[in-house]
Amino acid sequence: MAQIDFGGVVEEVITAEEFTLDEARALLEQETVAVLGYGVQGPGQALNMRDNGVRVIVGQREGGASWERAVADGFVPGETLFSVEEAARRGTIIQYLLSDAGQAAMWPKVKECLSPGDALYFSHGFSVVFNEQTGVVPPENVDVILVAPKGSGTTVRRNFLDGSGINSSFAVFQDHTGRARERTLAAGIAIGSGYLFPTTFEKEVHSDLTGERGVLMGCLAGVMEAQYNLLRKHGHSPSEAFNETVEELTQSLIRLVAENGMDWMFANCSTTAQRGALDWAPRFRDAVAPVFDQLYQAVISGQETRRVMEACSTPDYREKLETELNTLGSSEMWRAGAAVRALRPENRRNRP
């Protein structure tokens, strides 16, 4: 493991150079990885492992859109594509990648399909950490492991194809075989991780739920909407408001942050932008700090997971979700966004 200084705190990480793909293949040679669920994380992880020479099968409910997607991706019914239960019986590393609500609903059936010595693999600590809500209590005779890519399933696949990889955290909750750690690292490299950093199931779910609701998605969407609405209220056009709120961030500034850090981005903007950002950043930080405190407490108390389980388990959840997403997408801000994206040079070149 490499010793890396993260801002004055030394952590151990495992890179793809230290734990090579050849080592991962050798460790997984006698394993069959069963990917249960072909929705968000399933496709990217399954396809990356298959491309890396790992024996992969998929478990998914027959007849739905995800089943058809698996077929379109080359998984063959009866050979490499099965029901969730049959795939769980055939696998030795069972990647439990159904939605969190789906994991709770299917667990009584999946649990019966596990064999002693199997590895039960998660990409999120939700079900195990909040097992009083989900009912997911793994049997004692299996390894329980986690590899959590720091990105969407789409990014897992896209980064693999362009050779950049994706950062992932890893954890071992239960080591029955004595090989849980090496199985975890091998799977982590096989799905395309550029490097892996250690965590626990508890820390992963607490940080992940906070991040999703905070800076990564919820806070970002809310702050964008607030600034866009402010500019529109003061007479700025939709194009101007969207460009100054979203387009410049996603197409320019955030890329500079990703490449070299926030300080470098500040240093390479105009002195006017630089001065204003340095002056206002602490005010925004202090304004939202109480909201983040409330968010973290809601996460660790289980309030957020109860909300997820209750909402996602209702029969009409998908219809309600579709309505919420349509409301978001049809707002003026994101209709302006669609128009702005269509005007990007690469999209204008692709017009018929």
Sign of CA dihedral 230, 236, 238, 242: negative
- Catalytic-labelled residue, pool 124, 176, 234, 236: 124
The answer to whether residues 137 and 110 touch, using CB atoms and an 8 Å cutoff, is no
The answer to whether residues 241 and 228 touch, using CB atoms and an 8 Å cutoff, is yes
Q: What's the Cα-to-Cα distance from 255 to each of 224, 265, 270, 279, 317, rounded to whole Å?
A: 17, 9, 17, 22, 35
Question: Which residues make Cβ contacts (< 8 Å) with residue 339, sequence separation at least 6?
Answer: 238, 239
Q: What's the Cα-to-Cα distance from 189 to each of 11, 15, 91, 182, 326, rounded to whole Å?
A: 19, 9, 19, 11, 37
- Report helix, strand or coil for 315: coil
Measured CA to CA, the distance from residue 75 to residue 58 in angstroms comes to: 7
List the helix and strand counts (H, then E) for the chain: 20, 10
* Closest to 63 (Cα-Cα) out of 79, 32, 84: 84
Tokens of 169: 């955290």
b/e sequence 189-206, b meaning 16+ C-beta within 10 Å: bbbbbbbbbbbebeebbb
Tokens of 108: 């009584």
Confirm whether 124 is a catalytic residue. yes
Measured CA to CA, the distance from residue 274 to residue 276 in angstroms comes to: 6
Catalytic residues: 124
